[in-house]
Amino acid sequence: MKKTITAIVLTGFLAYVLGIYSTLPWWCFAVSSLLVSVSVHQRPGRSFLSGFLGLFLLWVALAFIKDAANEHILSTKVATMLPLGGSYLVLILVTGIVGGLVSGLAALTGSYLRK
């Protein structure tokens, strides 16, 4: 359990740092998830979960903070165009799930590379 929490925190932290302080493309967090998974040895299932949760929590928090700054106007309009019923919260959750899946799969790959 301690390794899982460590991997979640490291995944979120490294993804945030790479996203803010680098000029790398948006998917650079996948590389950080892979590196965290290689360095913090876990079973593949826990590795996927750690990568998924680390980035899911980060992206949901960042999306909500950015969205609250404009009183959810843009995200409500985008959610209306998509089949989300106009709910900005569902759009934020979908954003987190997409990022979480990419990060989780990168972490899973890192776990299998370690074997």
pLDDT value of residue 85: 86
Rounded Cα distance between 11 and 84, Å, is: 29
Query: How does DSSP assign 46-79, residue by residue?
Result: HHHHHHHHHHHHHHHHHHHHHHHHTTTHHHHHHH
pTM (2 d.p.):
0.89
pLDDT value of residue 106: 96
pLDDT > 90? residue 15: yes
pLDDT > 80? residue 29: yes
Q: pLDDT of 68-103, one tens digit each?
A: 999 999 999 999 999 988 899 999 999 999 999 999
pLDDT value of residue 1: 82
Rounded Cα distance between 59 and 57, Å, is: 6
What is the mean pLDDT of the segment spanning 15-35? 89
